[in-house]
Copies of this chain bind each other. A is one copy, B any other.
């Protein structure tokens, strides 16, 4: 019997069956043929593509058709600020940075600072504003090109965005958002309107430059419903439907489908100290190993459910051969749970050391990125 799961932009729970989700959302799996086509332009393939961490899409072939006709696209993704950044957040952005480098394109990064405020009873706009700045540091630290990256903040850039949001909102009924997001009569009217603000950056460069520019949105698949709705609207306003690339979720330490700040013991923040990371991984990281060392040596572990292995595969072990060796060594029992945890701790801490340095340097750079 399959476990029930739920994936909305505001709630991911249960054991996510991605094959089933693809069908539900009506998106396409990324085929080997599509990978080959991408590779023609990027020379190599990011490990997230090879390993199906970025696993499905909408209209990528159209986007590449346009690209091959010299009709360059821009990237759009976003972050709804409401707390500190964790490893799960970084995943699609690391992929975005790779796309920016390989295709040499603009990145429009949205900070919808009103979103979580509207959806969370106790969150204030003062808090989301504080987190907007803090979150920007993490994004800058990933190495986006300042001259090709624009940060837009919903409440600050509403003089550009609200008008376009109204054009989109006029074409979306309450029935539609009710069916898509599960709104009810007691939903607040800000929540109900919000999806039209999230839809804006996909056309904003086209609006500002007064020409139709293709857009590619890499995102966690939970955000797809916003664009499922908006993609029906864009052509009515004279714009292209954006292409989308979906990534799966980085699991939480405890092995839940999606790392989430709501459980502090299940998450690694980008500002965690090396000892924090060590303690959290050792104490909480769900293991695919056997209860005793002896048993592990005999029966072997299960990398497919081991959270450390997932972190290596999805984020921290770029080397395919090393990853394959870890997979087999862990599965055969040659590699112990202690060993895979230590290796993962080292990898994460090496990443975070560099990230935290760049994150501090980013404090001086924010202005360069603001639209």
| Residues of chain A whose beta carbon lies under 8 Å from any beta carbon of chain B | 114, 117-118, 125, 154-159, 161-163, 165-167, 169-175, 177-178, 183-190, 192-193, 195-196
CA of A186 to CA of B171, assembled, Å: 10
B163 engages A158 (CB within 8 Å): yes
Q: Are A174 and B166 in contact (CB under 8 A)?
A: no
Q: What are 8 sample pairs from A and B whose C-beta atoms fall under 8 A apart?
A: A117-B166, A118-B170, A156-B159, A169-B190, A169-B193, A174-B189, A175-B185, A192-B193
Question: A170–B118 Cα gap in the complex (Å)?
Answer: 6
A189 contacts B185, C-beta separation under 8 Å: no
A177 and B171 CA atoms in complex are apart in Å by 19
A190 and B174 in contact (CB under 8 A), knowing A158-B159, A159-B158, A162-B154?
no
Which of A165, A175, A186 has the most CB atoms of chain B within a 10 A radius of its CB? A165
Pair A163/B170 contact, Cβ less than 8 Å: no
CA distance A48 to B168 in the complex (A): 42
Q: Which residues on the B side are within 8 Å of A173 (C-beta)? A: 185-189
Contact B158 A171 (CB under 8 A): no
CB distance from A152 to the nearest CB of B (A): 12
Query: In the complex the two chains form, what is the Cα distance from A173 to B191 in whole Å?
Result: 9
Closest Cβ of chain B: how far from A28's Cβ, in Å?
A: 28
- Assembled-state Cα–Cα distance A51/B157 (Å): 47
- The answer on a CB contact under 8 Å between A189 and B162 is no
**Contact A166:B196 (CB < 8 A) given known A174-B174, A186-B175:** no
Name the residue in A125, A155, A178 with the highest tally of chain B Cβ atoms < 10 Å from its Cβ.
A155
Which 6 A-B pairs rank lowest in CB-CB distance, beginning with the nearest? Answer: A169-B190, A193-B193, A158-B162, A158-B158, A155-B163, A159-B159
Complex CA gap A174/B184 in Å reads 8
Which residues of B have CB within 8 Å of A167?
Answer: 125
**A190: chain B residues within 8 A (beta carbon):** 165-166, 169-170, 193, 196
State the CA gap A191–B165 with chains docked (Å): 12
Which chain B residues border A188 with CB–CB below 8 Å? 169-174
**Distance (Å) between the CB of A16 and the closest chain B CB?**
28
- Apart from the given pairs A114-B166, A178-B185, 19 other A-B contacts in the complex at a CB distance below 8 Å: A117-B166, A117-B170, A118-B170, A155-B159, A155-B163, A157-B159, A158-B162, A161-B162, A169-B190, A169-B193, A171-B188, A173-B187, A173-B188, A174-B184, A174-B187, A189-B192, A189-B193, A189-B195, A192-B192
In the complex, A183→B185 CA distance in Å? 11
Q: Within the complex, what minimum Cβ distance (angstroms) separates A294 from chain B? A: 57
Residues A169 and B189 in contact, CB atoms below 8 Å apart: yes
How far is B117's CA from A165's CA once the two chains are assembled, in angstroms? 12
Shortest Cβ distance from A190 into B: residue: B169
Q: How many angstroms from the CA of A85 to the CA of B154 in the assembled complex?
A: 33
A174 to B174, CA, bound (A): 9
Per the bound structure, the CA–CA distance linking A186 and B154 in Å amounts to 26
Chain B residue nearest in CB terms to A195: B189
- Asked if A118 meets B169 with Cβ closer than 8 Å, knowing A154-B162, A158-B159, the reply is yes
How distant is the Cα of A173 from the Cα of B159 in the complex, in angstroms? 25
A266 to chain B, nearest CB (A): 28
Q: In the complex, how many angstroms separate the beta carbon of A44 from the nearest chain B beta carbon? A: 42
